[in-house]
Amino acid sequence: MCRIMVAMALNIVEPTELSRLDLLGGGHVSTEQHDLEDASVDFGRLLARDKAAPLAVFYPSSTEGVAQVVRAAHSRGFVVSARGHGHSINGQASASGGVVVKMMSTCASAGGGHGGGWGRAVVEEVRYVDVWGGELWIDVLRRTLEYGLAPRSWTDYLYLTVGGTLSNAGISGQAFLHGPQISNVYELDVVTGNGEVLTCSEVENSELFHAVLGGLGQFGIITRARIPLEPAPQMVRWIRLLYSDFSAFTADQEYLISLGDSDLKFDYVEGFVKVVDESLINNWRSSSFSTPNPSKFSSIIPMSNGDILYCLEVTKNYDEWNKDSVDQEVELLMENLNFIPHSELSTDVLYVDFLDRVHKGELNLRAKNLWDVPHPWLNLFVPKSRIADFDRGVFKGILGNNAGGTGPIIIYPMNKDKWDGRTSAVTPEEDVFYLVALLRTALYNGEETQSLDYLIDQNGRILQFCAEEGIEVKQYLPHYTSEGEWAAHFGAKWDKFRRNKMLFDTNHILGTGIFIQIFEEKAYLIGMKRKSGADDFFDKEESLKELTQLADTAGFRVVGSTYQNHPLSVQQIDAVDKVLAELGISSILMSKIDRTRNPQEVWNETKKMIDIVCISAVQDIQRGFARIL
């Protein structure tokens, strides 16, 4: 009896080989040190450069250019990751030892074929814009405003790429009303991990369409998106209200997002957490609001340093023609709210200035050299039923006096029915859930509570608290290091997520910065039963159950039997059949082994359970598969 295990691993490609991709056209490959260093660092600055360094950076000029690189990676076996504006936190867009595709570099046309940039803005009564996947949302806003139009769902920070946010979800205070950005897409052009260029939508290649949206870059690279538009307002009434009672704060937020289908509603609902201190007025008003009288402000908030306040932030959009009705509408909406009396601040700003508000803060931080520093952010979706427990254990407990001390802590609810359950994005299983975003910055020369180690440890304590208390949070912009954690994160969607990976990225070359220990595992084939009469083989039928047990004992994870759920194309299956027939192997199992385990160690363990090890047969299979894979 013989059981044969054959390893197939991703290849390491030399930089000189990558430079030849320039000959394909459609872009430019760089192996310059400054480009490699830039592609090794993201906004989080949490991953060491040497662990994230690619061998090359590709600057595409079209969808076909992206496809050429992915096809080369698919056939040669090197890894590829798309990078937008580099706003990932934990190296999710890295491609260690592979190629980073710098999507933001492209300014080709998105109209007519698979290009990039801009296309038509209106078709009959359906308003939309076609944009390159590497386009920044701020540029989408500026261009569409030229036509009096704008997308309806946003992120708080607009210097992010379209493809980047659609690969996650894309959320802001409009999400309660319109859903996340992944719920506001008509159509996509996608280069799959297999190198195919496919147009997909709700009705065309819908499986790919829903997989890619919120798919963390695992199934394809978005090169074009068709975004629905609506008439853009001219102005925004921007209001902030203070609360000392968390239950009143969340009750008002939940009330406001329940008005989504009514005529009288706010257009944006968010909130944040702040510890009372001497800088509260400046931190809470922002430069867009006029400064209240400090003594009056202190009198309406009779609290001590260290107490926690909650701020409700809302907006009402309007135009010149209906500006006279704004005061009345805002008054009607606010009369049912239970904020601290006289704590409200209000200002009127241009629509574009409100949407681009975070960029002003970025410029201030850059001027102080506080932008290019580590950002150990933690973004959680928290079920509505447990948000009070989260406040008690985290805001008032773990964070305490340090809540918001090194960056904003944002909190606001969303309606689950505005999220399309067919996408890859995951949320809690409740009709209403909260985003809690701890957007904190680590300072190199700050206090201990501002250090990177302290903040990372605090994030760990928050997650541990949620686990121990049974608060079933979901990470937004998730980061995990084990398959069990990823499976728990995706829950009921995990099996489908893995099937989509096999279907659209069969060689697991995409997005390896995310599933670095999962989908970069070494792939193995286990063969059984040679034709009867062959030397060194036991001529008795081997049961699938026995072989599965062997795989489990040896530390393998069996992901499919025979040809189900395997990373092989139809053409490769035919070639595999031929090789196996020549060698007398009648059936195979696909399985995986964690790359962190020593393959030789696992092989040695497996050999102890094998009656006869046919090394020659292993070598034959290796040579045979080398011809076809």
pLDDT at 618 over 70: no
143 contacts 115 by C-beta, under 8 angstroms: no
Report how far apart, in Å, the C-alpha atoms of 320 and of each of 231, 236, 267, 363, 547 are: 14, 11, 17, 30, 74
Q: How far is 551 from 555, CA to CA, in rounded Å?
A: 6
- Identify the pLDDT of residue 293: 54
Share of the chain above pLDDT 90, in %: 57
- Identify the pLDDT of residue 288: 66
- Listed in sequence order, the DSSP H helices in 6-111 are 15-19, 33-39, 49-52, 63-76
Q: Find all residues with CB under 8 Å of 580, minimum gap 6, and list them.
A: 527, 586, 588, 621
Mapped onto helix, strand or coil, the DSSP state of residue 157 is: coil
Under the banding of pLDDT at 50, 70 and 90, the label for residue 472 is: very high
Mapped onto helix, strand or coil, the DSSP state of residue 406 is: coil
- Identify the pLDDT of residue 17: 58
81 contacts 193 by C-beta, under 8 angstroms: no
- Residue 262's Cβ-count burial label (10 Å; 0-12, 13-18, 19+) is exposed
pLDDT at 109 over 80: no
Question: pLDDT of 419-465, one tens digit each?
Answer: 999 999 999 999 999 999 999 999 988 888 899 999 999 999 999 99
Q: How far is 619 from 249, CA to CA, in rounded Å?
A: 68
- Identify the pLDDT of residue 575: 56
Question: pLDDT of 535-554, one tens digit each?
Answer: 333 223 343 444 444 444 44
The mean of the pLDDT values for the chain is: 79
State which amino acid sits at residue 84.
G
Mapped onto helix, strand or coil, the DSSP state of residue 407 is: coil
Full 3-state SS string of 545-563? HHHHHHHHHCCCEEEEECC
Q: How far is 151 from 129, CA to CA, in rounded Å?
A: 9
Longest dimension (CA), the chain: 97
- Identify the pLDDT of residue 296: 54
Neighbours of 436 (CB within 10 A): 23
Question: pLDDT of 64-73, one tens digit each?
Answer: 999 999 999 8
DSSP notation for 452-518: HHHHHHHHHHHHHHHHHHT---EEES---SSHHHHHHHHGGGHHHHHHHHHHH-TT--B-TTTSTTT
Q: Find all residues with CB under 8 Å of 369, minimum gap 6, and list them.
A: none
* Residue that wins the pLDDT comparison between 512 and 129: 129
Q: Find all residues with CB under 8 Å of 408, minimum gap 6, and list them.
A: 272, 437, 439
Average pLDDT over residues 200-215: 98
**Which segment of 68-82, 115-129, 232-246, 265-279 scores lowest on mean pLDDT?**
115-129
Full 3-state SS string of 252-313? HHHHHHCCCCCCCCCCEEEEEEEECCCCHHHHHHCCCCCCCCHHHHHHHCCCCCCCEEEEEE
Average pLDDT over residues 495-507: 89
- Indicate whether this model's pTM tops 0.85: no
Q: How far is 246 from 252, CA to CA, in rounded Å?
A: 10
- Residue 290's Cβ-count burial label (10 Å; 0-12, 13-18, 19+) is exposed
DSSP notation for 81-107: EEESSS--SSSTT--TTSEEEEGGG--
pLDDT at 628 over 50: no
Average pLDDT over residues 263-291: 73
**Which segment of 48-62, 297-311, 344-358, 424-438 scores lowest on mean pLDDT?**
297-311
Distance of CA 616 to the CA centre of its chain: 45
Q: How far is 244 from 391, CA to CA, in rounded Å?
A: 12
Handedness of CA 46, 52, 56, 58 (dihedral sign): negative
Average pLDDT over residues 478-501: 90
Q: How far is 95 from 276, CA to CA, in rounded Å?
A: 43
pLDDT at 246 over 60: yes
- Identify the pLDDT of residue 500: 92
Instruction: Supply the residues annotated as catalytic.
Output: 87, 156, 270
Residue keyed to tokens 């402000």: 297
Structure tokens that stand for 115 in this block: 């290009």
Under the banding of pLDDT at 50, 70 and 90, the label for residue 475 is: very high
Structure tokens that stand for 303 in this block: 């609290």
Average pLDDT over residues 208-221: 98
Question: pLDDT of 162-176, one tens digit each?
Answer: 999 999 999 999 999
Question: pLDDT of 313-347, one tens digit each?
Answer: 999 999 999 999 999 999 999 999 999 999 999 99
DSSP notation for 578-602: HHHHHHTEEEEEEEEE-TTS-HHHH
For residues 356-375, b (16+ Cβ closer than 10 Å) or e, as one string?
bbeeeeeeeeeeeeeeeebb
- Residue 506's Cβ-count burial label (10 Å; 0-12, 13-18, 19+) is middle
What domains appear along the chain, each with residue ranges and CATH number? Answer: 10-103+496-504 (3.30.43.10), 122-231 (3.30.465.10), 235-476 (3.40.462.10), 521-628 (no CATH)
pLDDT at 275 over 50: yes
Structure tokens that stand for 158 in this block: 């607009």
- Identify the pLDDT of residue 105: 63
- Identify the pLDDT of residue 195: 95
pLDDT at 555 over 90: no
Q: How far is 224 from 60, CA to CA, in rounded Å?
A: 13
Q: Please provide the distance, in angstroms rounded to a whole number, between the alpha carbons at the two ends of the chain.
A: 27
Distance of CA 274 to the CA centre of its chain: 27
Under the banding of pLDDT at 50, 70 and 90, the label for residue 27 is: confident
193 contacts 507 by C-beta, under 8 angstroms: yes
Nearest-10 Cα torsion for 489, 180, 471, 512: 20
Handedness of CA 94, 100, 105, 111 (dihedral sign): negative
- Identify the pLDDT of residue 8: 33
Listing from the earlier edge strand, what are the strands of the sheet with 126-132?
Answer: 122-123, 126-132, 220-228, 187-192, 197-201
Structure tokens that stand for 26 in this block: 């459609």
